[in-house]
Amino acid sequence: MNQEPADTPTKSVRYNQCRTSLTLSARENRGFTGDPDFNQVIGEDLQRLVSRQINELLTELVNLRTKDTWLRNIIPIVRHKVDKEFEVIEKGAAAVQRGIQRSAQRLEEAKGKIVLEFHNGILRFHERRDEVGGYGVVRKAWVKMEGHPSVPVAMKVPNASSEEPETVRRRFEREGDIWSRLYHPNVNELVAIFQPSNKNYGEVIILSPWTDLGTATSFFHDDRGSNRHHTLSIIQDIITGVEYMHQVVSPVYHGDLKGNNVLIFGSRDSPSAKITDFGLSKICEPVPVAATVVGGNAFWTAPEVLVAKRRKDPGETKAELTWQADIWSLGMTIFELVTRSLFPMRDRDMYRAETFLKKPVVYIDAEINDYLQCIPEPLRGFLSSLLSADPALRPQMTEIKKTWNAMVDNILERPVRLNSRSWSDHVAQVSKPLCYYYSPTSGPDNLNQWSVWMNDRRVSGGRKSLDADDE
């Protein structure tokens, strides 16, 4: 009796295709677990059900392959029955694959109903606002590139304003041009900048990596003190990032450095800081690109910039972003983060901060010196040099980095070194009422007790109390 081949090439291919389809479906089903919307959209129960279906189909496929190989050569009539059973498995595998595709689509739609296409992929986001920048709105969005899972990005679009679209476009492109020149572990990455075909969401869109850990300000202020031991390492990252920006071939001055323009990546156990938002930055040689607006929020803006911005006479020096202005902002950022405040000089509102920073150099230096009494002693001299009201006395970033490293590594070998492990101990040594300047970790805010001490210092030093300082 002539025996038929145990397995034709066509049938073998079909078996392999079915097995491959089920294997890929199993991999995709497992991969859903890492999606942030997994629990809400799919859930573990549905995932386990699909996994069980796939395993059952794979087992049936293996058994049928064995049955087909051995029995069809003995009982030819079995062929038809085996083919029917195989078709059932194929249909089951196809149904599983369609279910996987529907789940993947639902996960994508959960990331946003609004879809924009750009040269690198598809952008999804919801119609809502998360954080607002100086001239841009930042939303959390998701980028999907072919063959890759969706990843979260920060999507910056123009803020609603009276500016002409062409002006907005130029400002965003200028920011993108400066940002694209920066590559450093402590500078946030520029993912993409593009002009969407749908202009309802802005003339230009800037994309950069998203972090759920938020900004340096929120990392220290909102944690009620639990992240305090990372203070020095985060400051180290910021100093390193600014040093890089100032030392590249074409130096970049940030122009709006503050805790909310520093993002925290990594994990709460091992965080790292990256400088972001270059909308007010200035790039120097070989082709200077000046900032269209000089100076950001007054709490972090150098005194000389605020004074120059107030000048009306065309013959007077106009406000200009300089490396010295960045150093002042760095000093205020460090002061903000050390004291876990939402902004520095937290006993003042914006008006009082700006009024104070337009006073004579001697007045500003005396006031800053008293503010710095509330931080651990080893940092006071260091911050005092960064916050000198005379820009000519501020050190450059190379000197700042060198001083910082020496201070952190060596200054407190008497007997304890100033490092992240002992940082809480140093903060705890700040006595009352100076320690009341810090945002409270629990209980009421006792800033008023610090304010009494500060006003006494002002009056005894020949300055005015805060209430009389508006003149």
* Claim to verify: residue 186 and residue 224 sit in the same structural domain: no
Report the pLDDT value the prediction gives residue 363, as an integer from 0 to 100: 95
**Ramachandran assignment for 464, one of left (phi > 0), alpha (psi -120 to 50 degrees), beta (any other):** beta
Report the pLDDT value the prediction gives residue 80, as an integer from 0 to 100: 74
Give residue 103's identity as a one-letter amino acid code: S
Number of domains making up the chain: 3
Q: What is the pLDDT of residues 43-101, one digit of tens each?
A: 999 999 999 999 999 999 888 888 777 765 656 666 677 788 888 999 999 999 999 99
Report the pLDDT value the prediction gives residue 153, as an integer from 0 to 100: 94
* Claim to verify: residue 97 and residue 184 sit in the same structural domain: no
Q: Are 274 and 261 in contact (CB under 8 A)?
A: no
* Claim to verify: residue 282 and residue 181 sit in the same structural domain: no
What mean pLDDT comes out for the span 167-187?
91
Confidence of residue 288 (pLDDT cuts 50, 70, 90): very low
* Helix 323-338, helix 377-386: angle, nearest 10: 150
* Claim to verify: residue 26 and residue 67 sit in the same structural domain: yes
Choose the final residue of a domain: 185, 209, 233: 209
CA 241 to mean position of chain CA atoms: 14
Q: In whole angstroms, give the CA distance from residue 283 to residue 278.
A: 10
Is the per-residue pLDDT at 107 higher than 80?
yes
CATH number at residue 273: 1.10.510.10
H or E segment to which residue 263 belongs = strand 262-266
Is the per-residue pLDDT at 35 higher than 90?
no
For residues 11, 13, 14, 16, the Cα torsion angle rounded to the nearest 10 degrees is 120
- Report residue 205: phi and psi, to 5°: -125, 135
Is the per-residue pLDDT at 122 higher than 80?
yes
- Report residue 155: phi and psi, to 5°: -105, 110
- Tell me whether residue 292 is in a domain: yes
What mean pLDDT comes out for the span 126-155?
78
- Tell me whether residue 235 is in a domain: yes
Q: In whole angstroms, give the CA distance from residue 469 to residue 203.
A: 44
* Claim to verify: residue 220 and residue 203 sit in the same structural domain: no
* Claim to verify: residue 232 and residue 354 sit in the same structural domain: yes
Which region among 288-302, 330-344, 370-384 has the lowest average model confidence (pLDDT)?
288-302
Q: Are 283 and 301 in contact (CB under 8 A)?
A: no
**Ramachandran assignment for 321, one of left (phi > 0), alpha (psi -120 to 50 degrees), beta (any other):** beta
Q: What percent of the chain has pLDDT over 90?
A: 53
200 vs 132, more confident: 200
Report the pLDDT value the prediction gives residue 291, as an integer from 0 to 100: 43
Which one, of 272, 259, 288, 245, lies nearest residue 398 by Cα? 245
Give, as one character, the DSSP assignment of residue 273. Answer: E
Report the pLDDT value the prediction gives residue 163, as an integer from 0 to 100: 67
* Claim to verify: residue 125 and residue 178 sit in the same structural domain: yes
Report the pLDDT value the prediction gives residue 418, as an integer from 0 to 100: 53
* Claim to verify: residue 399 and residue 271 sit in the same structural domain: yes
- Tell me whether residue 3 is in a domain: no
Confidence of residue 467 (pLDDT cuts 50, 70, 90): low
For residue 94, what are its two tokens? Answer: 């196809």
Q: In whole angstroms, give the CA distance from residue 302 to residue 294.
A: 11
Choose the final residue of a domain: 110, 142, 166: 110
Q: Which residue has the tokens 């150099």?
A: 361
What mean pLDDT comes out for the span 302-309?
90
- Tell me whether residue 1 is in a domain: no
CATH number at residue 173: 3.30.200.20
* Claim to verify: residue 31 and residue 89 sit in the same structural domain: yes
- Tell me whether residue 204 is in a domain: yes
Q: What percent of the chain has pLDDT over 70?
A: 85
Q: In whole angstroms, give the CA distance from residue 27 to residue 43.
A: 16
Mean pLDDT, the chain, whole residue set: 85
Q: In whole angstroms, give the CA distance from residue 156 to residue 190.
A: 11
The domain in which residue 155 lies consists of 114-209
* Claim to verify: residue 243 and residue 369 sit in the same structural domain: yes
* Claim to verify: residue 84 and residue 163 sit in the same structural domain: no
183 vs 8, more confident: 183
Report the pLDDT value the prediction gives residue 292, as an integer from 0 to 100: 44
Distances (CA, A) of 128 to 112, 136, 181, 347: 10, 14, 30, 32
Confidence of residue 260 (pLDDT cuts 50, 70, 90): very high
Choose the final residue of a domain: 77, 110, 143: 110
3-state secondary structure 68-95: HHHHCCCCCCHHHHHHHHHHHHHHHHHH
- Tell me whether residue 241 is in a domain: yes
- Tell me whether residue 4 is in a domain: no
* Claim to verify: residue 141 and residue 104 sit in the same structural domain: no
For residue 353, what are its two tokens? Answer: 């901060």
66 CB burial (10 A radius; 0-12, 13-18, 19+): exposed
What mean pLDDT comes out for the span 274-293?
69
Write the CB contacts of 468 (distance below 8 Å, at least 6 apart in sequence): none
- Tell me whether residue 2 is in a domain: no
CA 184 to mean position of chain CA atoms: 14
Report the pLDDT value the prediction gives residue 271, as an integer from 0 to 100: 95
Report the pLDDT value the prediction gives residue 229, as an integer from 0 to 100: 86
